[in-house]
């Protein structure tokens, strides 16, 4: 079989690009041929992904369309005679981005507009969570499959055997973007620091959606918790693993998540997770995280305190998170991927 993957954008720190690379290595193991293409390819990918304009499939090739943002030439692609598998990663509603990143907002608005045509134009519509699959079903997809994101958690290194030394450290990993609510994380952290742990630190890891938004977050951090907040991006896997291992709590106050890989990365490193039950988060975490939907950030601050100081609670969350992680093992995900591809081909 020959299978080509098509992405709207590809970058070195992008989860969907990493997944496409992992898929490709599985395809090769299974003896399947093909190439991977994206509309926009960022520097630093070392030729793993080609530009879409070079895409010339044969009619018998199978196409795997990763959908996470608007893509040009979609109508042309859907008109091709090839059998197609859609893998929907969710498109964040555009209104989160209009103020700080209008170019991203446009891509998201177009991406949402294109979804019905995609659902109609493929043989099998899959998504990386049941939350995302429900959107496809609402658009009339007759056959849906759930293929969780295929992530190599081992790339972060082995988890630390004990709780990290040093002052309480709170971590969040994810694009610096309004819908991820790093602003609320900074507010909750400033409460925690003021009332529970004056030496606490907050680490935010992620590429900013725009320089303007990064500056707004830096200003907020300097106002509320001067000198206690680090904002980092472009980390290597080893560096990212070290950030997880230095953290006492992973705090996610995101308002919209289609899957949320960092929560599973935190599980893999034994870091207790506190999160808002937004989007696919409850599905991803199961009972292995503390889910809090209280808008009162004092409650979040007290939860951080609890998760940092209650060793039995930490141990129980770590035990549950290992069980949860087993559900997302790369081999299990690969089996689902293979089933979906074979269903598309048949």
The owner of tokens 């141990």 is 315
323 binds another protein (CB under 8 A): no
Q: Name the one range near another protein by CB under 8 A: 57-65, 79-87, 186-194, 337-345.
A: 186-194
Tally of CA atoms within 13 A in the half-sphere of 34 that contains its CB? 28
Q: Which residue number, 50 or 320, has a Cβ lying nearer to another protein? A: 320
- Scan residues 98-137 and list those touching another protein (CB under 8 A): 98-99, 102
Nearer to another protein by Cβ, of 71 and 304: the residue is 304
Q: Which of 119, 176, 307, 337 binds another protein (CB under 8 A)?
A: 307
Binding another protein (rule: CB under 8 A), the pick from 53, 58, 312, 346 is: 312
Residue 267 engages another protein in binding (rule: CB under 8 A): no
Is position 301 an interface residue for another protein (rule: CB under 8 A)?
yes
Give whichever of 32 and 98 is closer to another protein, judged by the CB atom. 98
Find out whether 42 and 28 touch, Cβ atoms under 8 Å: no
Q: Do 290 and 317 contact (CB within 8 A), yes or no?
A: yes
SS3 assignment for the chain: CEEEEEEEEECCCCHHHHHHHHHHHHHHHCCCECCEEEEEECCCCCCCCEEHHHCCCCCCCEEEEEECCCCCCHHHHHCCCCCEEEEECCCCCHHHCCCCCHHHHHHHHHHHHHHHHHHHHCCEEEECCHHHHHHHHHCCCCCEEECCCCCCHHHHCCCCCCCCCCCCEEEEECCECHHHCHHHHHHHHHHHHHHCCCCCEEEEECCECCHHHHHHHHHHHHHHCCCCEEEECCCCHHHHHHHHHCCCEEEECCCCCCCCHHHHHHHHCCCCEEECCCCCHHHHHCCCCEECCCCCHHHHHHHHHHHHHCHHHHHHHHHHHHHHHHHCCHHHHHHHHHHHHHHHHC
**Closer Cβ to another protein, 48 or 143, answer by number:** 48
Can residue 183 be called a binding residue for another protein (CB under 8 A)? yes
Residues 15-54, mask of contacts with another protein (x by CB under 8 A): ---------------------------xxx----------
Q: Which part of the chain contacts another protein (CB under 8 A), choosing from 16-24, 31-39, 66-74, 204-212? A: 204-212
**Distance between terminal CA atoms of the chain?**
12
- For another protein, the binding residue among 302, 308, 333, 341 (CB under 8 A) is 302
Candidate list 50, 112, 143, 320; residue touching another protein; CB under 8 A: 320
| 75, 120, 195, 332: residue in contact with another protein (rule CB under 8 A) | 195
Of residues 13 and 143, the one with the C-beta less far from another protein = 13
Q: Does 193 bind another protein (CB under 8 A)?
A: no
- Does 220 sit near another protein (CB under 8 A)? yes
Question: How many residues bind another protein, per CB under 8 A?
Answer: 47
The one segment of 18-26, 47-55, 107-115, 180-188 that binds another protein by CB under 8 A: 180-188
Residues that bind another protein (CB under 8 A): 42-44, 95-96, 98-99, 102, 178, 183-184, 187, 190-191, 194-195, 210-212, 220, 223-224, 234, 255, 287-292, 294, 296, 298-303, 305-307, 310, 312-313, 316-317, 320
């Amino acid at each position: 079989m020959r299978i080509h993957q098509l992405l709207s954008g590809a970058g070195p720190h992008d989860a969907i690009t990493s997944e496409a690379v992992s898929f490709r290595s599985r395809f090769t193991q299974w003896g399947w041929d093909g190439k991977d293409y994206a509309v926009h390819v960022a520097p630093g990918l070392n030729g793993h992904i080609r530009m879409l304009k070079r895409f010339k499939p044969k009619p018998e090739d199978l196409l795997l369309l990763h959908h996470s943002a608007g893509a040009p030439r979609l109508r042309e692609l859907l008109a091709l005679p090839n059998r197609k598998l859609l893998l929907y990663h969710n498109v964040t509603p555009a209104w989160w981005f209009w103020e700080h990143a209008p170019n991203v907002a446009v891509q998201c608005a177009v991406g949402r507009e294109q979804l019905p045509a995609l659902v109609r134009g493929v043989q099998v519509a899959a998504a990386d969570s049941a939350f995302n699959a429900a959107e496809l079903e609402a658009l009339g997809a007759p056959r849906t499959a759930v293929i969780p994101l295929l992530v190599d958690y081992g790339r972060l290194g082995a988890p630390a055997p004990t709780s990290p030394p040093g002052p309480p450290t709170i971590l969040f990993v994810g694009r610096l973007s309004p819908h991820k609510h790093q602003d609320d994380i900074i507010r909750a952290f400033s409460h925690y620091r003021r009332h529970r742990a004056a030496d606490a630190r907050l680490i935010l890891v992620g590429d900013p959606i725009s320089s303007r938004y990064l500056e707004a977050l830096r200003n907020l951090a300097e106002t509320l918790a001067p000198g206690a907040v680090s904002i980092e991006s472009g980390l290597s896997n080893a560096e990212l693993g070290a950030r997880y291992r230095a953290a006492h709590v992973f705090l996610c106050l995101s308002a919209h998540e289609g899957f949320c890989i960092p929560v599973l990365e935190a599980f893999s490193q034994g870091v207790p997770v506190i999160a808002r039950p937004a989007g696919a988060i409850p599905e991803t975490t199961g009972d292995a995280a503390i889910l809090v939907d209280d808008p009162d950030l004092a409650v979040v601050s007290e939860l951080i305190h609890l998760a940092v100081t209650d060793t039995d609670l930490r141990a129980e969350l770590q035990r549950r998170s290992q069980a949860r992680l087993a559900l997302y093992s790369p081999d299990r995900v690969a089996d689902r991927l293979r089933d979906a591809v074979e269903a598309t081909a048949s």
